[in-house]
Amino acid sequence: MFMSVVRKVFIAAGLMCAGALPLAAQGTGLQTLSTADDNRGWEAVGRLNFGSEGFCTAALVTPDVVLTAAHCLYNKQTGERVEAADIEFQAGLRFGRAEAYRGIRRIVLHPDYDFAEANRLGRVGSDMALLELDRPVRNGHVHPFRTQFRVNAGQTVQVVSYAKDRAEAPTREEACQILTRDADILVLSCSVDFGSSGAPVFVSYNDEVRIVSVISAKAEWDGRPVALAAVMEGELDALIAEFARTPAFAPVGKTVSVETAADR
């Protein structure tokens, strides 16, 4: 239960669309990945565009599946689901050029996610979605990220994202922290803004970086700006199981396999 966090957290806003409100990034520890050298190893992070409605951030977890925030798949004004045909994933986008451009053929939300739930804090813990691309990304230097679930308060994490006022190239925050956590929510010191929703939260593990969550919301905790992200322990498994149960438009026998800490 997340009441220990609820008593201290006030959600300032969801982060679905860049430019929806004039909020600035929270910190100064951001590095723009403006060159190919800067972006090396991060090419599987990309911008998820919703036509003229804005964008989120997403990351490849297999060659043809990206992980993002579930609330990105809704129109904030109407509450309607965004059509897959209106979404494009641009892997490693930098200043108008991406490593790969892909449409979306299937959207699968976490089975417990409810965009209509009035308590926005209550839906952070399930704010995850898997999107199947129309074609795999087979670029030799775009490598999907693996995952690891368990993280603890005080642990250092990093975030790579696109956001308002930094939409044309990804930015990386190399060292922010998990300030606190409970069974459902991570409270992070990371700098986020509109468009950062769905951005992967990474930890270093055995000489590689692995995804441990995705950014869900911007908030205030103990008087300081923070980012909120879902605890993925067990929840990513639930999302993958939902993906397997909804094989519409997918070839027969197609599955998603995401390596977790338990697979090592």
Residue 111 lies in a domain: yes
Q: Residue 73 — very low, low, confident or very high, per pLDDT cuts 50/70/90?
A: very high
Return the structure tokens found at 53: 């409605």
16-25, 44-53, 66-75, 190-199 — which is least confidently predicted?
A: 16-25
- The yes-or-no verdict on residue 12 having pLDDT over 80 is no
* Cβ contacts of 248 within 8 Å, gap of 6 or more: 106
- The yes-or-no verdict on residue 1 having pLDDT over 90 is no
User: For the domain that residue 140 is a member of, what is the CATH number?
Assistant: 2.40.10.10
Return the structure tokens found at 15: 């982060």
- The yes-or-no verdict on residue 257 having pLDDT over 90 is no
Q: State the pLDDT at residue 118.
A: 80
**Number of folded domains that form the chain:** 1
From residue 176, give the alpha-carbon distance in Å to each of 28, 154, 156, 227, 263: 11, 10, 6, 10, 27
Mean pLDDT across the chain: 85
The mean pLDDT value for 210-235 works out to 92
> Going by DSSP bridges, is the β-strand pair 166-181/200-205 parallel, antiparallel, or unpaired?
unpaired
Q: Residue 186 — very low, low, confident or very high, per pLDDT cuts 50/70/90?
A: very high
The mean pLDDT value for 34-44 works out to 95
Residue 256 lies in a domain: no
- The yes-or-no verdict on residue 262 having pLDDT over 50 is no
Residue 263 lies in a domain: no
The mean pLDDT value for 227-253 works out to 81
Residue 87 lies in a domain: yes
Residue 260 lies in a domain: no
Distance of alpha carbon 134 from alpha carbon 165, whole angstroms: 29
Read off the pTM: 0.86
DSSP tag of 222: T
The mean pLDDT value for 183-206 works out to 93
Residue 259 lies in a domain: no
Do the beta carbons of residue 218 and residue 229 sit within 8 Å? Answer: no
The mean pLDDT value for 179-200 works out to 93
Residue 14 lies in a domain: yes
Residue 178 lies in a domain: yes
SS3 state of residue 219: strand
Query: b/e string for 37-46 if b means 16 or more Cβ within 10 A?
Result: eebeebbbbb
| pLDDT tens, residue by residue, 86-136 | 999 999 999 999 999 999 999 999 999 999 988 888 899 999 999 999 999
Distance of alpha carbon 230 from alpha carbon 253, whole angstroms: 29
Q: Residue 4 — very low, low, confident or very high, per pLDDT cuts 50/70/90?
A: low
Q: State the pLDDT at residue 227.
A: 95
Q: Which domain holds residue 157?
A: 3-249
Q: State the pLDDT at residue 263.
A: 32
Q: Residue 200 — very low, low, confident or very high, per pLDDT cuts 50/70/90?
A: very high
- The yes-or-no verdict on residue 13 having pLDDT over 80 is no
Do the beta carbons of residue 199 and residue 214 sit within 8 Å? Answer: yes
- The yes-or-no verdict on residue 252 having pLDDT over 50 is no
Q: Residue 9 — very low, low, confident or very high, per pLDDT cuts 50/70/90?
A: low
What kind and span of H or E run contains 238? helix 235-245
Residue bearing the bigger pLDDT, 252 or 258? 258
